[in-house]
Amino acid sequence: GIRIIKDSADTLKHLTMELGGKSANIIFADADLDKAVQTAYDGMFYNKGEICYAGSRMLVERPVYEEVVERVRQRALATRPGDPLDPTSDMGPIANRDEYTKVLKYMDIGKREGARLVAGGGAYDIGTGKGFFVEPTVFADMTAEMTLVREETFGPILAVQPFEGFDEAIQLANSNQYGLAAGVHTQNIVRAHRAAARLQAGSVWVNTYGQFDPSAPFGGYKMSGYGREQGREALEFYLQTKTVWVDLG
């Protein structure tokens, strides 16, 4: 995206940039954990994490942290990679060899940096010798300086971090260079709206994730880009304002 912006500067191209993300799902202790874990897990591993708004970070309040980690681990272990045309498959292959190699590299980085690997962590053989399949991977006990917390992996790798309270949850969520999306899971609607207001993200989903409507604008903050797709804001991108003065005297 930055390269496109630079290349277009000489002719002042008008751009909308929807770029990468490192979106966080925040799970508070009062959340409906059955729904929150399912929603946050699907928000990460849908399309193998190869989607810009994948919820690749999960922030969990300390009182329910280990329970959530275990629930996510069980879901990952039950997820079956396989032929996307096979109805029994839960997750297809990585898009191409370069991305496959990159995803495996990120898995190795997570191990080297000392994160707790709770599920997956490598390639997956579906028995055909074909396809760039990897295991759905979950790392826990992540810290803010770790690579998997800072960089977009664009693959099925979930980074789980604990937090102690509301302010720390927001601080951790906003500490990343990206700001495309976020999820908030709580039964306290006041807390949900407070979080949504403070999160530096273009889309915030409460007790859900990845919902879209053609009338709702979509786009990012910070290094996730600028401008909006969908909705009135997207149409305004194609318009220019003109001021006309007429002397009727």
223-232: per-residue pLDDT in tens?
999 999 999 9
Concerning whether 113 is annotated as a catalytic residue, the answer is no
Average pLDDT over residues 13-33: 96
Query: Does the pLDDT of residue 1 top 90, yes or no?
Result: no
C-alpha–C-alpha distance, residues 116 and 56, integer Å:
16
Q: Which candidate in 50, 52, 67, 229 is catalytic?
A: 52
Active site includes 70?
no
Residue-level pLDDT at 109: 98
Residues near 17 by Cβ (< 8 Å), separated by ≥ 6? 1, 4, 5, 225, 226, 227
Per-residue pLDDT, averaged over 27-56, amounts to 97
Residues in the chain, overall count = 249
pLDDT category of residue 221 using cuts at 50, 70 and 90: very high
Dihedral-angle region of residue 243 (phi above 0 means left; psi in -120 to 50 means alpha; beta otherwise): beta
Give the chain's domains with CATH numbers.
Answer: 2-236 (3.40.309.10)
In this predicted model, what pLDDT tens digit does every residue of 154-213 receive, in sequence order?
999 999 999 999 999 999 999 999 999 999 999 999 999 999 999 999 999 999 999 999
C-alpha 200/C-alpha 73 separation (Å) is: 28
